[in-house]
Amino acid sequence: MVLDDKLSIVIPAYNEEANIRMVVGRVRAMKPSSEIIVVDDGSLDRTSFEAEAAGARVIRHPYNKGNGASVKTGIRAAKGDYILLLDADGQHAPEDLDRLLEHMGPYDLVVGARTRDSDSAKFRDFGNWVFRTLASYLVEMKVPDPTSGFRCFKRDKVMDFIHLLPNQYSYPTTTTMSFIKAGYNVKHIPIKAHKRQGGKSHIRPIRDGVKFITIILRMITLFNPIKIFMPLAVLWFLLGAGYGLVNFFFANGKIPNGAVLLISVSVLIFLTGLISEQIAALRFERSNLREYGREADRGRSEEETVSRLPETYSNQAQPEETAARPGVPTGPRY
């Protein structure tokens, strides 16, 4: 279990004056000693005032940057070793905090995965199903709810991937897949999400539909792109080979230019996938190098501390030895 004074709770908020005081109050009742940070993403209402009145530390953006940008601001400002993210609309019950925190330690990321009986719109359920299917395929591991914003992770681990997080709503998917891709321990805890307690949702189906496609493409290029490019390359190769063989054996005995073109495209797709795979691997290799650097720094600090111990003890013992020697003045020196 994570100690309260080691925990920072980050709540991104935009025009949530109807909910934020209630959410912060319930969180404060559960974790009175934890740091609570509300990142006001350029709200046009009294979100900041209500959050401060409830006892939260408020960081305000001068203009609206996006939910993901608010999360990154909160992560950078957090002082705790563990960071818990919570939505400001009241859909996540603060009473479920300990259900996530009890698994921290052996796990580096714990996600509150929404169950089927959660209150959510149909179009969101469809989008979550697409993300869930694609994410599970790319990381070769079952991901029950990649878009849940209710999650807890170790701050030093997420700092390796903070530059990958987008400024919009796809940061949960990116963090989940980044932790899995880097080999960290990830666990999903089933929770029930509730209806928004007040205010209006900032999700727009038509506007966010284009972003939905962009997020999918981003996921493909960031995580295991060869698993997308390889099937496409094989498909085009089979089409070209089949088209060529049919014409060669059953038509005019020649391989048409169209078949050659299809096979050439398949080779280009495969090579593009290889290059994308190498770029993705290099990105995560840099993250691992930063982790190794931190561990080396911690090791050097411990060695320096141990090496200073004999010197410290000798300095403490020196006055006694001096006082015991005959003929040596023991008064103050100028």
DSSP 221-248: HHS-THHHHHHHHHHHHHHHHHHHHHHH
pLDDT digits (tens, 9 = 90+) for 159-215: 988 988 888 777 888 899 889 888 899 999 998 887 765 556 555 555 666 676 677
pLDDT digits (tens, 9 = 90+) for 269-313: 999 999 988 887 786 666 555 555 555 555 565 555 555 555 544
Burial 1-11 (b: 16+ CB within 10 A, else e): ebeeeebbbbb
What residue segments make up the domains of the chain, in order of their start?
4-202, 226-314
Angle between helices 226-250 and 122-139 (to 10 degrees): 80
pLDDT above 70: residue 98: yes
Token representation of residue 238? 């089979």
Domain 4-202 has CATH 3.90.550.10: yes
Q: How far is CA 83 from CA 2, 109, 119, 172, in A?
A: 10, 10, 26, 14
φ, ψ for residue 187 (rounded to 5)? Answer: -135, 145
Chain mean position to CA 54: 27
Continuous H helices in 78-170? 97-101, 122-139, 155-158
pLDDT of residue 10: 96
Give the whole-angstrom CA distance, residue 233 versus residue 272.
Answer: 10
